[in-house]
Structure 1
Amino acid sequence: MIYATTSLWEHLPSKDQKILTHFGRVCSILVSRILEIELIEEAHERPIKIIKLIEVHYGRVKITPNLHLSLNLCDCSNDFGPLYAFWYFSFERMNEILGLELLEDRPTTGSSISAADQFSSDKLERFWLNVKNIQESTITGCEPFSGEMLKPSSEAIMTESMLELMVAFYNASYIEMYQFRKPADEIIQDSITIRVKINQFGRCRISSEVFGFAISVRHTKSSCVLAKFIISNGEVDSYPGQIQYFFKHTVDLPNGQMEHNLAYIHWYRPASTSES
Structure 2
Amino acid sequence: MLIYATPITWDLLKETDQRILANFVRVCNILVCRIVSINGLKEAHTHLLALVKEIEREYGPKKIFPNLHLCLHLCECSLDYRLLYVFWCFSTERMNGLLGLFHNSHRNIEQELMKIVQYNALLDKLTSHADQDLRLQESLEILKLRDFVRSLSIYDKYTDEDYKAFRLLSTTIEEGAAFGFEAFPGSFLGLLNENVSLPKNVLLLLTEFYCNTYGQNFTALSNIHNALEGSIPVLPQVSRFSRLRIGTEIFGSTLSSRHAKSAKILARFILSDDTTDTYIGQIQFFFKHNIDLKESLKMHYLAFIRWYKPSENRKTRFYFTIDDNVDSCNIKLWKDEFFEMGRDCIIPIHNILCQFVSGNFKVGQRNPKNYTAIIPINRKYHI
Report the TM range for the smaller structure's normalisation: 0.5 to 0.7
Q: Distance in 1 between matches of 2:29 and 2:154?
A: 15
Structure 2 partner of 1:204: 244
Determine if the alignment matches structure 1 residue 148 to structure 2 residue 187: yes
Q: Distance in 1 between matches of 2:152 and 2:263?
A: 18
Structure 2 partner of 1:249: 289
TM-superposition CA deviations, 1:6-32 (whole Å, max 9, x none): 7842346787346344x43x4xxxxxx
TM-superposition CA deviations, 1:138-176 (whole Å, max 9, x none): 64454323321111421321122111111111111112x
Q: Which has the larger radius of gyration?
A: 2
TM-superposition CA deviations, 1:213-237 (whole Å, max 9, x none): 0243311111000111110101221
Do 2:242 and 2:255's aligned partners in 1 also have CA atoms closer than 8 Å? no
RMSD of aligned Cα (Å): 3.9
TM-score, normalised to structure 2's length? 0.45
Structure 1 partner of 2:30: 3
Structure 2 partner of 1:109: 147
Do 1:145 and 1:261's aligned partners in 2 also have CA atoms closer than 8 Å? no
Q: Distance in 1 between matches of 2:184 and 2:167?
A: 16
CA change 1:210–1:161 in 2 (3 A) is same
Q: Distance in 2 between matches of 1:189 and 1:240?
A: 38
Please give the residue correspondences for 1:124-273 in structure 2 after superposition, counting only pairs within 5 Å. Answer: 127=167, 131=171, 134-135=173-174, 137=175, 139-142=177-180, 143-154=182-193, 155-175=195-215, 178-185=216-223, 186-272=226-312
Tell me the CA shift for residue 195 of structure 1.
0.8
Larger RCO: 1 or 2 (CA < 8 Å, sep 6+) = 2
Q: Distance in 2 between matches of 1:249 and 1:114?
A: 30
TM-superposition CA deviations, 1:16-57 (whole Å, max 9, x none): 346344x43x4xxxxxxxxxxxxxxxxxxxx5xxxxxxxxxx
SS class of match (1:163)? helix
Identity %: 26
Q: How many residues align?
A: 205
Do 2:197 and 2:238's aligned partners in 1 also have CA atoms closer than 8 Å? yes
CA change 1:19–1:179 in 2 (3 A) is farther
- Point out the more displaced range, 163-172 or 249-258: 249-258
SS class of match (1:184)? helix
Pick one of 16, 39, 46 that aligns with 2:78.
16
SS class of match (2:221)? coil
Structure 2 residues without counterparts, runs of 5 or longer: 1-27, 46-74, 103-145, 317-363, 368-383
Q: Distance in 2 between matches of 1:247 and 1:130?
A: 18
Structure 1 residues without counterparts, runs of 5 or longer: 27-46, 48-65, 82-107
TM-superposition CA deviations, 1:173-228 (whole Å, max 9, x none): 112xx421112321332221011111110111111111110243311111000111
SS class of match (2:203)? helix
For residue 269 of structure 1, what is the amino acid of its counterpart? K
Q: Distance in 2 between matches of 1:121 and 1:16?
A: 19
SS class of match (1:109)? coil
Q: Distance in 2 between matches of 1:164 and 1:126?
A: 28
- Point out the more displaced range, 205-214 or 181-190: 181-190
Q: Distance in 2 between matches of 1:217 and 1:126?
A: 28
TM-score, normalised to structure 1's length? 0.60
